[in-house]
């Protein structure tokens, strides 16, 4: 089938299209209506239908292929590895569900999960889904203040946590951060369920804190039935990263999400029951929800949950996992690939990667040098995909499960089924011509699996996402262009635009240009306030070979070279005012560049909450080159 025809049916006749896709999951009670869009922009999918995420991810496969691997928990931090079959996963999830019920958790109650990448975190998420509780996973290691705001917003009955995570061989204690967060929060949870990994001391608060291991012993024979939920009941809350002030909780449904994930696993990720999926993300981010826990399991695949770094114990660790577990589909981020690119090439050649069919990359723009390098090393398709916490699954990609359309370097692809994507002129709201830059938006109704609303704040949902243009459309807050063939190119956030003397420039465009210099391995560009021009671009680049920049004269010459590259490719208006050379760039633990913090330092402002920063030394380097 031609993808164009498949796509057109999805947007022109969503009732029929999604009605067909809904057959991929189990329904305890049939729905009476596929789509209810009577109160735009709020969307209801599969109205009246009753289903359950845990049933579709675990129980139905435990009945069909109970002895097949379901969850593969690997930690290179603690040198542990355990494979749970679908039957074993079902048993563990029921034990966790019984513990939650014993601690007073019921349908509609919130459970906050603040955990490292360990099997018990997946048990907790699936147990919530099983009993109809709403989970809110907060990235492990978030600072107490950030955690406290999320506790106050979600008001959890129970918090599930662990003594510590581990990174680079060093324990990261969670319990002190959690205790301080509860102390700061107005809302006090009735109980805290603690998993003791034996990494650090774990002082327990009497009557409030409960030990998971001892509770599990009491519920070894647990048999907790699935709670069937109406399709539009909430399944979880996930707070968007980088929010300031009151956190913004993305609220997801049950039925629409299950159907969207099943469809995405079939058409985009091409996963089959019995195969193995490896996503290198974290459950604190949306990729972890959709494509570590729920998506692969709904597709009947084994899913790998990995705690560790891509280069520890060595740069071959991921590829050894691919070989051992015959991984067919892998999902990572461009940042991780750039890290691996710096390592000795023999690690890519050491393992049998013949099982791997494709590598999917998302989370940030994929630059051409990175894409070409990893494609040549792996010899499999590299498929970019673009989406957001809010959408839950890809907006733009290539659906090779429908038609093997070619990828296009620099583009995440074409609109995925169900998404009515447009590029609008920021000022007029008119649809842009091909190759004309504008804001990427999606016309309603949003397809299944997308956010229902901002948790507890419908007005904020409308004002934030739907009120930016005269004709309501969901704003992605990303600049983009669409070429003549319908491929989209994302040019960075609308709030990362630099306005230089009236010229609007996306940081991505300048970064791409600087990256093409043969000695530049990575770069971040920010807009810095300038009294004359409004803003100027300032670049911070990591060099492949730092030697030429080891003297003041060398740095000056190299800076002039880089500026000349931008001059030639984008014109003098895009030339950075300064190019600084550093060995580290500040990033979150999930690999996102902290551009706003860099910008703040350049402007002499407070860089903000840096609790998610991977390496604090990177900020010191920025300060040092700025002379701060």
Which CATH class for the 501-626 domain? alpha beta
Average pLDDT score over residue span 267-284 = 96
Per-residue pLDDT band for 525 (boundaries 50, 70, 90) equals very high
Distance separating alpha carbons of residues 494 and 59, to the nearest angstrom = 43
Instruction: Give SS3 for 528.
Output: strand
* pLDDT tens digits, 154-178: 999 999 999 999 989 999 999 999 9
Average pLDDT over residues 398-424: 96
Mean pLDDT, all residues of the chain: 93
* DSSP three-state, residue 127: helix
What is the rounded CA–CA span in Å between residue 437 and residue 419?
A: 19
- Higher pLDDT residue, 540 or 240? 540
**Residue 16 phi/psi, 5° resolution?**
-70, -45
Interval 453-470 mean pLDDT: 95
Q: What confidence tens digit (pLDDT) does each residue in 277-303 have? A: 999 999 988 999 999 999 999 999 999
Whether 242 shows a pLDDT value over 50: the answer reads: no
Cβ-count burial 528-564 (b if 16+ within 10 Å, e if not): bebeebebbbbbbbbbeeeeebeeeeebeebbeebbe
Residues 6+ apart with CB under 8 A from 236: 125, 128, 129, 134, 135, 136, 137, 251, 252, 289
pLDDT at 611: 66
Residue 33 has pLDDT above 80, yes or no: yes
Residues for the chain: how many in total?
628
State the Cα–Cα distance between residues 393 and 384, nearest whole angstrom: 13
Q: Average pLDDT of 560-575?
A: 85
Is residue 616 within 8 Å of 584, Cβ to Cβ?
no
CA distances from 521 to 37, 342, 544, 549 (A): 47, 9, 5, 14
Mean per-residue pLDDT for 495-513?
Answer: 73
Segment 212-227 shows an average pLDDT of: 98
CATH of domain 3-308+385-478: 3.40.50.12780
Instruction: Determine the pLDDT at residue 499.
Output: 66
pLDDT tens digits, 578-619? 999 999 999 877 677 888 889 989 998 888 766 667 787 888
> Torsion angle, CA of 78/84/88/92, rounded to 10 degrees?
40
Q: What is the pLDDT of residue 244?
A: 42
Q: Is 418 left (phi over 0), alpha (psi -120 to 50) or beta?
A: left
The arithmetic mean of pLDDT across residues 560-589, rounded, is: 87
pLDDT > 50? residue 144: yes
**Structure-model confidence comparison of residues 578 and 572, the more confident one:** 578
Predicted confidence band of residue 497 (pLDDT cuts 50, 70, 90)? low
Q: List pLDDT tens digits, range 75-84.
A: 999 999 999 9
What pLDDT, in 10s, does the model give residues 183-219?
A: 999 999 999 999 999 999 999 999 999 999 999 999 9
Helix (H) or strand (E) holding 35: strand 33-39
Give the pLDDT mean for 461-465.
94
Per-domain boundaries in the chain = 3-308+385-478, 501-626
DSSP per-residue string spanning 448-509: TTS--EETT-HHHHHHHHT-SSSS--EEEEEEEEE-TTS-EEEEEEGGGEEEETTEEEEHHH
pLDDT (0 to 100) of residue 243: 37
Answer whether residue 261 shows pLDDT above 60: yes
Q: What is the mean pLDDT of residues 228-247?
A: 81
Q: Which helix (H) or strand (E) holds 510?
A: helix 507-515
pLDDT digits (tens, 9 = 90+) for 363-381: 777 878 889 999 999 999 9
Cα–Cα distance between 496 and 526 in angstroms, integer? 7
pLDDT band of 509, cuts 50, 70, 90: confident
508-533: average pLDDT: 87
pLDDT at 59 over 90: yes
């Amino acid at each position: 089938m031609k993808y164009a025809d498949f796509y057109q049916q999805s947007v022109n006749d969503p009732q029929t299209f999604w009605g067909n896709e809904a057959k991929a999951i189990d329904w305890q009670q049939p729905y009476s209506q596929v789509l209810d869009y009577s109160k735009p922009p709020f969307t209801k999918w599969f109205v009246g239908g009753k289903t359950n995420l845990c049933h579709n991810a675990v129980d139905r496969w435990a009945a069909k292929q109970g002895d097949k691997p379901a969850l593969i928990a690997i930690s290179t931090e603690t040198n542990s590895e355990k494979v749970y079959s679908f039957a074993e996963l079902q048993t563990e999830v029921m034990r966790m569900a019984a513990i939650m019920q014993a601690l007073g958790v019921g349908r509609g109650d919130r459970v906050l999960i603040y955990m490292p990448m360990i099997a018990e975190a997946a048990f907790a998420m699936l147990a919530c889904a099983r009993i109809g509780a709403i989970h809110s996973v907060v990235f492990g290691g978030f600072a107490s203040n950030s955690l406290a705001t999320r506790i106050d917003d979600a008001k959890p009955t129970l918090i599930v946590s662990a003594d510590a995570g581990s990174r680079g061989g060093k324990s990261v204690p969670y319990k002190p951060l959690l205790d301080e967060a509860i102390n700061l929060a107005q809302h006090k949870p009735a109980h805290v369920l603690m998993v003791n990994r034996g990494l650090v001391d774990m002082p327990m608060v009497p009557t409030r804190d409960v030990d998971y291991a001892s509770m599990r012993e009491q519920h070894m024979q647990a048999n907790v039935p699935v709670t069937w939920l109406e399709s539009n009941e909430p399944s979880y809350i996930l707070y968007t990263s980088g929010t300031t002030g009151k956190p913004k909780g993305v609220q997801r449904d049950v039925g629409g999400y299950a159907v969207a994930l099943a469809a995405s696993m079939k058409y985009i990720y091409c996963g089959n029951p019995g195969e193995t999926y490896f996503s290198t993300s974290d459950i604190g981010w949306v990729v972890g929800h959709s494509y570590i826990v729920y998506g692969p399991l709904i597709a009947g695949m084994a899913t790998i949950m990995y705690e560790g770094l891509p280069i520890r114990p060595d740069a071959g660790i991921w590829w050894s996992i691919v070989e051992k577990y015959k991984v067919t589909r892998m999902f990572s981020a461009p940042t991780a690939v750039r890290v691996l690119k710096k390592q000795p090439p023999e690690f890519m050649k050491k393992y049998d990667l013949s099982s791997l069919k494709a590598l999917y990359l998302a989370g940030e723009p994929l630059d051409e040098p990175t894409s070409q390098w990893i494609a040549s090393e792996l010899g499999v398709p590299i498929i970019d995909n673009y989406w957001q916490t809010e959408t839950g699954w890809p907006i733009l990609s290539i659906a090779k499960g429908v038609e093997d359309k070619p990828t296009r370097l620099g583009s995440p692809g074409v609109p995925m089924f169900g998404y009515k994507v447009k590029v609008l002129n920021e000022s007029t709201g008119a649809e842009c011509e091909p190759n004309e830059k504008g804001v990427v938006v999606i016309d309603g109704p949003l397809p299944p699996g997308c956010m229902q609303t901002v948790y507890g704040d419908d007005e904020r949902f409308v004002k934030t996402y739907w009120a930016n243009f005269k004709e309501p459309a969901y704003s992605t807050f990303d600049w983009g262009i669409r070429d003549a063939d319908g491929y989209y190119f994302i040019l960075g956030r609308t709030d990362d635009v630099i306005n230089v003397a009236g010229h609007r420039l996306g940081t991505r465009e300048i970064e791409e240009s600087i990256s093409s210099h043969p000695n530049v391995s990575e770069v971040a560009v920010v807009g810095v306030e300038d009294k004359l021009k409004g803003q100027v671009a300032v670049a911070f680049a990591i060099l492949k070979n730092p030697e030429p920049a080891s003297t003041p004269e060398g740095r000056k010459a190299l800076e002039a070279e880089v500026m000349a590259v931008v001059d030639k490719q984008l014109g003098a208006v895009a030339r950075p005012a300064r190019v600084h050379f550093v060995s580290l760039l500040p990033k979150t633990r999930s690999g996102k560049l902290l551009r706003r913090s860099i910008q703040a330092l350049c402007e002499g402002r407070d860089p903000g909450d840096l609790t998610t920063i991977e390496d604090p030394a990177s900020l010191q380097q920025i300060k040092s080159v700025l002379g701060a």
